[in-house]
Amino acid sequence: MNTPGKSKKMQREKWSPAWRPPPQLGPLEAKSVLADTFIPENKKMANLALLQARWKCDTAWVDKANNADYDRFDQDNVIIKLAKNFIPAVQCLCNKGSQNPPPHGDGLYMPTLTHTVNPNYQFALRDNPMFQAAQEKIEPAIVDLDETSSISEYSKMFECSLRLEYEEHLRLYELYSLYHVNIFLVDACPHPDIPGQGNTKKSRTAIVHKKARLFIDGIADARPTLQIGDIVLLRPIPFNGHVHLEIESRIVRVVRGRKTQQHAEPSKDQVIIAWGLNHKQTSDLLLKHSPNKQNLFQISEIKFNVRFIPSSNQLEKCLTALDWLNNVSTRFPRAMDDVLFPVKAPEVKPLSIHQAQRMKQDDSDMNKPLNELQSSFVKMVGARTRDPEFNMVRPPMILTGPAGTGKTKTLLVAISDVLGLMSSGYGNDIDTTRNRVLVCTPSHAAADVITHRLLKFLDHRAIFRLYDKSRPTNTVPATIMPFTCRNAITDDFTLPDSSVWNNFRVIVCTCMDAHILFRAKITNEAIAKRRECFRQYLSSDAQNLGFSIDIPDESIAPYFSHLFVDEAAEASEPEILIPMSVVIDPYPGAKKVEIALIGDPRQLSPLIFSERADKFGLSRSFMERLLKRPVKCLGWGEDHMLGPEAAQDSLFEGGASSLADLIRYYANVDGQELLTIFLCENYRGHSSFLMMPSSLFYFDRLKCKKDSNSQASEFWCSRLRDIEALSNSVECFPIQEAAQNGFIETLNGKPKSQSMGSFSQVHKQKTWPICFMGVKGEDKSVALDSFTGTDSWQNAAEARIVLEIVTSLVDGGVLTSRIGVMAPFRGQVQLIRQYLRSKNFFDVNVGTIENYQGVEQDVIIFSLTRSNPAFVHHDIKHRMGVFGDVRYKQANVALTRAENLFIMIGNPEPMWNDRLWRQFLMFCFRNGLWYGQALDETDMEDMSSRERKMVSTPQEDREGMTTIVSTLEKVQRLN
């Protein structure tokens, strides 16, 4: 028993100012689960210490020393050579003169980026005062891009947004920092300065390493994703605690850890970085920092602090494109107005009846002819090609529509048409042999798909797939490799010799990689001016020899006659400007390029991380802005040919009242469609997959044109019956009430309604391959254990259901390669992938919603992940997940990726509180597609209330008490 004196002493110690009771841990909150990983302050301080030396890792010197022809094939050197030799360089005799700015004079041969950015390596460190200074920096006023026509305001807005986005990347990359870790050298080669390599003991040990490896669990799922070319800073930590050296390297590759037959546990993710320190540097590093002075070749024993800095390469390319835009607008003030700020439809001569009929009958190399709307786009492109413009570049043509409507097929037919490959052809109307197409996409995956499909009808020598040298060759499909050009020494991608470029009819690349053409001066403007110089030179020489030659300058076709940007809704406006800088020649009198944008603005937008950059319009694509820009329609006299003047793009209040307001199908002038086409006939998914997207996202305009295959349909419905057997169906009415409403028996013997007149009643749809599995799981964050940051939520209950469903499908004869699993959080993707690998389901494609943009699978299993309604507000605020009106594009992608079977897994409670997902629940319920966890009794009664009004689109849902039923659903329920 304690004495009173001792008790008083303990009380004094307990409440003394120097001591405080430990804080009580409250319930789980977003701010606590998303806290940074705890790192001791002394480890962080090492990154702030002053340096005595900085070494840059460069593997090029190793390759140059060992290969005499290295410089000959290096992409940067090839770019310089192409810029000089693409058209023979002659003395400039044209009226512009050699002293004028590029493309004349010496500037014509300087293939450099005009805008460079040197990253501040200390920017994101918490003790750096520049961090706070950046927060307080005065930003330009936000300009309404739907109303402005000022190039200056436009450029300032996007330059600011690009820098804000880059600063956000700097901050987020700091979360990936590592402390006191080891690196492992790989890719050894003999030192180039030692003769007789490999013949003596000395030469065998004097080696250099070109790469090093970092093992980092979960880094492959980091958000934002580490990119090839990102900067890596390594500070060796000596045992006396002082740091005097920093090694600067670059990321070469990020490798996801995989489970193998030899290892039961999956390996960690790896970051491969350039090493390339010379022999002396490596020796000095080992002597000063190795704990084992006797073993001078064990770099792996040294501890390093590692930081990642995002490369400024993409920022520089976009800023350079903005510089180009400002330069053009200074020289030719109105040259870009119709491209960026169109105010009227272009005047184009209509096709003759014979031409239109000939194109309508043609089906190119496709198995089936184009439908009416698809043909309209091809005719639109054809009409412009036959009637070129010589003064101003016309407004871009737009082809839009949801997945499965044949946008890519239509694009391919349009390309084959302008190249003169269609059987209808252009006849003798126009020479198509000089037409050349540049096809750009935001992603390499989309560009590879286009290339692969072009190979089916285009001469293989006429296609060139352009890659930047930083792209790893092992990430490129084998079918694409023959259409690339590689360095014979290093196997890096490079550019072909100038002698073969005229053979190319189609060049395919990403929007970012189009900067290679800009640097090499393979642009319409530069080539046109050099042609002019060459023409003047030949004319002068001919006169000196006593004869004359006639070379008409106005009839010379541009090098690129057309620019097609596929998946354009995913690209930011500065990104689109990069290929535009290649194809646009602003000089009056030059034949202008025709531009077309293809994509779906109702699906994913450009991915950005900065909320401030979002306010400046960086997250909205060029296509989406054009579709909403007020335009005076030629012939129609309407004010909004492309969209509402000031309408918020929302599913509910403030949104467009109809699809005709959001996307005007086309400007009809003399029977010709001259600007935009919206495709609405779907050829890919089952009609049940289109019902909710049609009403929620496409204003009830979608039509199902997929060929029916009863045998295939039977197979997938049988697989669905197996999955439904894993759980019980959700009921609404008690059996007694159900009997009074004329219910029939279902597969499991439970009553269902056979009434089709009331959509508050249940009618089991046995032939619809769609299912919702209600699961009341627990979502938790693993941010402290991974690099996925705020995107690190997991739901083990849903992951287990995914595994059960995949197992059932495989047991039923479905190949794992035909199954795709999707989740809105990278943490859940990791967990599901781990579960599936434990059962050797390696070929199941598991990814986030962003990974599935433009990708379809026979089977899609979507794990909602979010189960706790308290975290939904956090998701909306941080633009994560699929809840809230602002995330409807992610929901649209999730609902439209399946071709034959769609299964969604989630907790119905947070879904019921969201107006979009509430409609999905009611859709599943009334059609007998809901299994597993149900809502509470009150919500179930609300769902089946007969007081609900039935409407077709969310814009009619003003009070949240309506049932949205698409025309497709009404028709199918009556069949």
One DSSP character per residue, 775-839 reads: ----EEE-GGGSS-GGG-EEEHHHHHHHHHHHHHHHHTT--GGGEEEEESSHHHHHHHHHHHHHT
Which is more confidently placed, 18 or 923?
A: 923
Strand pairing class (672-673; 668-669): antiparallel
**Rounded mean pLDDT, 366-372:** 75
Closest CA to 735 of 721, 720, 750, 725: 750
Closest CA to 598 of 317, 886, 427, 854: 854
DSSP 8-state code for residue 748: T
**689's tokens:** 């997959």
Query: What pLDDT is attached to residue 661?
Result: 41
Closest CA to 563 of 575, 576, 572, 574: 576
Helix H or strand E encompassing 963: strand 962-964
Classify 956 as helix, strand or coil.
helix
Tell the residue number behind the tokens 């649209």, with chain if given: 892
**Rounded mean pLDDT, 483-512:** 90
Rounded distance between C-alpha atoms, residue 648 and residue 658, angstroms: 13
Is the separation of the CB atoms in 91 and 535 below 8 Å? no
Is the model's pLDDT at 269 over the cut of 50? yes
pLDDT, tens only, 198-244:
444 444 445 677 888 999 887 887 888 899 889 999 988 875 556 67
Is the model's pLDDT at 648 over the cut of 50? no
Q: State the virtual CA torsion across 197, 200, 202, 207 in degrees, nearest 10.
A: 30
**Above pLDDT 70, what percent of the chain?**
70
**Phi, psi (degrees; rounded to nearest 5) at 213:** -125, 135
Query: What pLDDT is attached to residue 165?
Result: 94
Highest mean pLDDT among 60-69, 751-760, 844-853: 844-853
Residue 303 pLDDT class (50, 70, 90 cuts) = confident
Classify 151 as helix, strand or coil.
helix
DSSP 8-state code for residue 542: H
DSSP 8-state code for residue 238: -
859: which strand partners? 819, 901
Is the model's pLDDT at 373 over the cut of 50? yes
Query: What pLDDT is attached to residue 355?
Result: 59
**Phi, psi (degrees; rounded to nearest 5) at 599:** 170, -170
**291's tokens:** 């704990």
Rounded distance between C-alpha atoms, residue 377 and residue 379, angstroms: 5
**Phi, psi (degrees; rounded to nearest 5) at 203:** -70, -25
Helix H or strand E encompassing 970: helix 967-974
Is the model's pLDDT at 319 over the cut of 70? yes
**Above pLDDT 90, what percent of the chain?**
32
**Rounded mean pLDDT, 702-717:** 87
Query: What pLDDT is attached to residue 537?
Result: 72
**390's tokens:** 């010589």
Residue 644 pLDDT class (50, 70, 90 cuts) = very low
Query: What pLDDT is attached to residue 11?
Result: 38
CA distances for 706 relative to 404, 449, 599, 819, angstroms: 9, 22, 21, 20
Rounded distance between C-alpha atoms, residue 452 and residue 477, angstroms: 9
CA distances for 145 relative to 151, 342, 443, 629, 919, angstroms: 10, 12, 25, 9, 33
**445's tokens:** 């995956």
Please report the DSSP string for 317-360 in residue order: HHHHHHHHHHHHHHHSTTTTHHHHS--BPPP-PPPPHHHHHHHH
**Phi, psi (degrees; rounded to nearest 5) at 855:** -120, 135
Cis peptide, bond prior to residue 103, ω within 30 of zero = yes
Q: What letter represents residue 295's amino acid?
A: N
Q: Which of 8-22, 94-108, 250-264 has the lowest mean pLDDT?
A: 8-22
Measured from the Cβ of residue 610, the count of other Cβ atoms closer than 10 Å reads 21
Is the separation of the CB atoms in 529 and 96 below 8 Å? yes
- CA 873 to chain centroid, in Å, comes to 25
Count of CA atoms in the C-beta half-sphere (13 A) of 313? 16
Rounded distance between C-alpha atoms, residue 375 and residue 384, angstroms: 14
Handedness of CA 62, 67, 73, 79 (dihedral sign): positive
670: CB partners within 8 A, 6+ apart: 350, 635
Is the separation of the CB atoms in 556 and 615 below 8 Å? no
Classify 72 as helix, strand or coil.
helix
Handedness of CA 629, 634, 639, 641 (dihedral sign): negative
In 803-942, beta strands by DSSP E: 819-823, 845-848, 857-863, 898-906, 930-932
Classify 564 as helix, strand or coil.
strand
Rounded distance between C-alpha atoms, residue 71 and residue 871, angstroms: 55
Residue 387 pLDDT class (50, 70, 90 cuts) = confident
Is the separation of the CB atoms in 656 and 662 below 8 Å? yes
Closest CA to 211 of 15, 60, 41: 60
Highest mean pLDDT among 218-232, 528-542, 611-625, 901-915: 901-915
Whats the size of the chain, residue-wise? 975
Highest mean pLDDT among 473-482, 707-716, 803-812: 803-812
Count of helices and strands (H, E) across the chain? 33, 31
Query: What pLDDT is attached to residue 737?
Result: 36
Residue 436 pLDDT class (50, 70, 90 cuts) = very high
pLDDT, tens only, 49-65:
777 788 888 766 555 55
- CA 799 to chain centroid, in Å, comes to 26
Query: What pLDDT is attached to residue 576?
Result: 97
Rounded distance between C-alpha atoms, residue 691 and residue 718, angstroms: 22
Q: What letter represents residue 845's amino acid?
A: N
